[in-house]
């Protein structure tokens, strides 16, 4: 990738996480209203009619083994990108690239060769982890798939990360439409956006996340 610096961001990027409206409902508990952010398993992606303000389809159930549900509930990041009538989607605890149609029907699933292995969710045998050091160690051993981006030539960029205390290390995997690896690298700057063949990264030399660098994807791996 060839890089050049761009100026300070005029606007903060919209943070990617659970799809808007996915698994959210107002519930009453002990006389207070809460927002239910996620249930496992849930349908993590929605397609909606903007004008009517109604959800049309829900899809991408994010099921995990029953014994790991208490831990999986903390990892609900989902991302999707639309290409014509195809929806490409990823979610935090699956090393899989999902291909859906606009109705939310699965077309194909492609395994991803992430730069770091996914790790294993603690099961029932781990009990309740309360030691802060043990919690940190468990979090830092898991790779989370964070986002997916579509390039102009049809290559898809899949970003994954591992927690490091209050920070994170970021990895990038480029695949074709069949999930075959085109390029990958560990310990990359965080990727915020892809426009055409331009990649907008967090500037690793900046102390604050308000300065970006842009890299051009040459497409030659």
Residue 47: inside a domain? no
Residue 50: inside a domain? no
More confident call, 30 vs 105: 105
Q: State the DSSP code for 138.
A: H
Rg (C-alpha) for the chain, rounded Å, is 18
pLDDT of residue 115: 95
Residue 33: inside a domain? no
Residue 136: inside a domain? yes
pLDDT of residue 169: 94
Only one residue has tokens 């999902």, namely 98
Residue 49: inside a domain? no
pLDDT of residue 52: 74
Q: Looking at the 3D structure of the chain, how many domains does it have? A: 1
> Mean pLDDT over all residues of the chain?
75
Q: State the DSSP code for 53.
A: T
What are the tens digits of pLDDT across the range 92-127? 888 999 999 988 888 999 999 999 998 877 665 555
More confident call, 169 vs 18: 169
What are the tens digits of pLDDT across the range 152-186? 889 999 999 999 988 899 999 999 999 999 999 99
Residue 62: inside a domain? no
Which residue range is the domain that position 190 belongs to? 2-17+77-216
Q: For residues 27-33, give the mean pLDDT.
A: 35
**In the 3-class helix/strand/coil scheme, how is the chain assigned residue by residue?**
CEEEEEEECCCCCCCCCCCCCCCCEEEEECCEEEEECCCCCCEEEEEEECCCCEEEEEEEECCCCHHHHHHHCCCCCEEEEEECCEEEEEECCCCEEEEEECCCCEEEEEECCCCCCCCCCCCHHHCCCCCHHHHHHHHHCCCEEEEEEECCCCCEEEEEEEEECCEEEEEEEEECCCCCEEEEEEEECCEEEEECCEEEEECCCCCCCCEEEEEECCCCC
Structure tokens at 28: 């009453």
Only one residue has tokens 């349908």, namely 43
pLDDT of residue 146: 93
Residue 116: inside a domain? yes
Residue 53: inside a domain? no
Q: Which of 34, 169, 43 is nearest to 114 (CA)?
A: 169
pLDDT at 211 exceeding the cut of 60: yes
Phi and psi at 134, nearest 5°, equal -70, -40
């Amino acid at each position: 990738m060839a890089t050049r610096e761009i100026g300070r961001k005029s606007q903060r990027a919209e943070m990617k996480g659970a799809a808007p409206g996915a698994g959210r409902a107002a519930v009453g508990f002990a006389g207070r209203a809460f927002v239910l952010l996620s249930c496992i398993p849930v349908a993590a992606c929605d397609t909606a009619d903007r004008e009517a303000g109604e959800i049309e389809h829900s899809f991408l159930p994010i099921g995990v083994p029953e014994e790991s549900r208490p831990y999986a509930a903390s990892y609900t990041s989902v991302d999707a990108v639309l290409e014509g009538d195809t929806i490409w989607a990823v979610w935090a605890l699956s090393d899989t690239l999902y291909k859906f149609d606009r109705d939310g029907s699965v077309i194909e699933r492609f395994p991803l060769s992430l730069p770091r292995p996914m790790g294993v969710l603690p099961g029932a045998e781990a009990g309740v982890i309360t030691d802060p050091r043990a919690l940190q160690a468990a979090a830092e051993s898991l790779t989370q798939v964070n986002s997916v981006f579509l390039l102009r030539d049809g290559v898809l960029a899949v970003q994954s990360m591992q927690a490091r205390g209050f920070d994170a290390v970021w990895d990038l995997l480029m695949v074709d439409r069949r999930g075959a690896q085109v390029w990958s690298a560990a310990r990359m700057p965080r990727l915020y956006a892809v426009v055409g063949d331009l990649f907008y990264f967090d500037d690793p030399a900046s102390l604050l996340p308000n300065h970006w660098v842009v890299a051009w994807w040459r497409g030659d791996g």
